[in-house]
Structure 1
Amino acid sequence: MQFDVVVLTDNELLQHNENDWYSRQVHQEDGLVVTALSRLGLKVGRKDWAETGYDWTQCRSAVFRSTWDYFHRFAEFAPWLEQVGRNTRLFNEAGLIHWNIDKHYLGILAEKDINIVPTIFVERGDARSLAHVVAETGWEDLILKPTISGAARHTYRFHALDSERHECTFGELVEQEAMMLQPFQHNILEEGELSLMVIDGQYTHAIRKTAKAGDFRVQDDHGGSVHRYDASADEILFAEAAVAAVPFDVLYARVDLIRDNDGQLAIMELEMIEPELFFRFCPEAADTLAAGIARRLAV
């Protein structure tokens, strides 16, 4: 067996480019995980998940960290996940990854009394117009996005009266994939979005993401910024309860939440596939992650 744990990345992030801030940041984060695992006496490697010809049976386990091209290559990723998962233990596990890829999971959380941002799902092939669906919601300021997406792919904010401007885009998208509508959450403009890291069932640290002026997207891909944040007791309890409601063993999760338009804590997303966990703000959380992996491998 070559490795006890492989830290998974994608090809573009495999090599360290000291001249690129993004590459430095990724390698700092992944490096904290590699170091924490190595300190526990585990044999650790770091690989592109899509490396051609690699024999994944040579790894006891693999942990998803910066595989941020998977949603652009899902036709390759899905069979890879099935094949590798037969012989290599995955963290998080393949069943959870499939569950978390599709944001229909938000409806399942709502059924378990976890407050989510109100969401309407429009299934693939739905023949209704966008204007028709929007009229049924009664919402005036809306967000439209696919149920399977990442990095704000095909995410649109619009007013109900402007639905017709997005009809062609909506029609083309819904022919290919399920979509979702949500009322725009106005607190995100002033307060941003909170991300609480829950590792091995326990809160470790948090950050606050804010959008650049004139935008609503908090991702750094779109000019958003990240700040250290000290979560309150009620935010911590809410995040841990949301993760506990997931019907799988969750090694790590990033709980993205806001105060909704009614002032209540609400889940935007639970990120449990390859979320950035912002270890640079709390390096000891990497040790918590490593300990959780080591304990699971010992069973």
Structure 2
Amino acid sequence: MLFDVVVLTDSRQLAFRADDWYSRQVHREDGLVLDALRDAGLTVCRLAWDDAGFDWRQARSLLFRTTWDYFERFGEFAPWLERASRQCRLFNAAELIRWNLDKRYLVELENKGVAIVPTRYIEKGERRSLAQLVDASGWQELILKPAVSGNARHTYRFDAGDAGRLECVFGELVEAESMLLQPFQRQVLEDGELSLMVVDGRFSHAIRKTPKSGDFRVQDDYGGSVHPHAASDEEIAFAEAAVRAVPFDVLYARVDLIRDDAGRLAIMELEMIEPELFFRFRPEAAGQLAAGLRRRLADGAA
């Protein structure tokens, strides 16, 4: 059977576990997408991206949704992505995925006039110590994280004077991958982080993520919580402009942003590979996604 769309997940998320809140949430979100695609007249199924038994030529397109193990298995994911992109359409496209994988894209966005959280990119194999890099930054409270990552993997918050305690960790990480250094945004502790969903070029809905008491990570895996957010006109215009600055066609994006100390909006991350899009807060957004995908399949847009 030829499927119009295969909705991609990872093997851990395939089976529905009624006693697991996380599984219920994942399947609700993916279910909304599957239903919207069917309502748009498309034939669909849901598979793990590493399903060795499926012939990807039997899919017109692949939609990345909950492939949340890709950064842990990047050595397998990268060649699979190359093969899959030669056999069918990807949403978002492989070129965009490759661009978005490495957070060096933040520097490119800044060069196009999009305000970002200040970021120092540290190349793999950097010989300077973390203390030297921190001293050169002038920042007093910092975040260190990999350039290719997700779900706060190897994300560390520390004071400049405590860089020494992370030297061994930093040395091991930078030997294997590029890293990012950023000033810690204390507003996250009080105001959280905003996420604006932009689907098919238009703002859809927004949420606010807040960390649990005593932590700085907003992901629900670490006890963070999610709340609906009524985005202002300024926030919507900022998010849509950030997506327009991307040098590729963007079917869906989650724009993570904060306000800096001066109250200005700034991009934390622009997630366009497999972001959680919080459809449960606005199920109609899944229909917006399905309509945009169907139009692209029909007109052959890149």
Match of 1:28 in 2: 28
Equivalent residue runs for 1:77-92 within 5 Å: 77-92=77-92
Question: Could you tell me the TM-score, scaled by structure 2's length?
Answer: 0.98
Task: Indicate the SS of the match to 2:87.
Answer: coil
Q: CA deviation at 1:263?
A: 1.7
* CA distance, structure 2, for counterparts of residue 253 and residue 15 of structure 1: 26
Say which SS state the counterpart of residue 288 (structure 1) adopts: helix
Deviation at 1:6, TM superposition (A): 0.6
The CA distance in 2 between the partners of 1:217 and 1:40, in whole Å, is: 37
Aligned position for 1:137: 137
SS at match of 1:86: helix
For residues 262 and 121 of structure 2, what CA distance do their matches in structure 1 show? 21
Structure 1 runs not aligned, ≥5 long:
none
Deviations 1:74-108 (A, max 9, x none): 11110111101112100000000000010000000
Unaligned runs of 5+ in 2: none
Q: Please name the residue that 1:74 is paired with.
A: 74
Q: Measure how far apart 1:243 and its partner are.
A: 0.4
Q: Which contiguous aligned blocks of 4+ residues in structure 1 show a shift greater than 2 angstroms?
A: none
Which amino acid is the alignment partner of residue 15 of structure 1?
A: A
Q: TM-score, normalised by structure 1?
A: 0.99
Distance 2:142 2:261 in 1: 12
Number of the residue aligned with 2:58: 58
Match of 2:225 in 1: 225
Aligned length: 299
1:180-191 mapped onto 2 (5 Å cutoff): 180-191=180-191
1:8 aligns with 2:8: yes
User: How far apart, in 2, do the equivalents of 1:167 and 1:261 lie?
Assistant: 29
Q: Which residue of 2 aligns with 1:254?
A: 254
Query: Is 1:158 aligned with 2:163?
Result: no
Superposed displacement of residue 2, structure 1: 2.0
Alpha-carbon distance between aligned partners in 1 of 2:243 and 2:71, rounded to the nearest angstrom: 22
Give the match for residue 202 of structure 1: 202
C-alpha distance after superposition, 1:254-278 (max 9, x if no partner): 0000001232100000000000000
Mapped partners of 2:21, 2:214: distance in 1: 24
In structure 2, distance between residues paired with 1:242 and 1:180: 20
CA deviation profile, 1:17-66 (whole Å, cap 9, x unmatched): 11111111111100111111101111110001100131000000010000
1:130-152 Cα shifts (integer Å, max 9, x gaps): 11111111100000011011110
- Deviation of residue 244 (structure 1)? 0.3
CA distance in 1, matches of 2:260, 2:147: 20
Partner in structure 2 of residue 170 of structure 1? 170
User: CA–CA distance in 1 between the matches of 2:8 and 2:277?
Assistant: 14
Post-superposition Cα deviations, 1:4-26, rounded to whole Å, max 9, x if no partner, equal 00110111111111111111111
Counterpart residue type for residue 185 of structure 2: Q
Query: C-alpha distance in 1, partners of 2:72/2:134?
Result: 28
Report the residue type matching 2:46 in the other structure: R
Tell me, what secondary structure is at the counterpart of 1:35?
helix
Once the two structures are overlaid, the 10-residue window that deviates more, 264-273 or 16-25, is 16-25
State the distance in 2 between where 1:269 and 1:96 align.
Answer: 14
Q: Distance in 1 between matches of 2:241 and 2:118?
A: 18
Query: What SS does the corresponding residue of 1:79 show, helix, strand or coil?
Result: helix
Aligned position for 1:280: 280
Write the distance in 1 (CA, Å) between the matches of 2:49 and 2:126.
35
1:142-187 Cα deviation digits (max 9, x unpaired): 0001101111011001111111111111111111111111001011
How many angstroms apart in 2 are the aligned matches of 1:125 and 1:19? 44
**2 CA distance for matches of 1:270 and 1:187?**
19
Code of the aligned partner of 1:163: A
Alignment partner, residue 242 of structure 1: 242
SS of the equivalent of 1:152 reads: coil
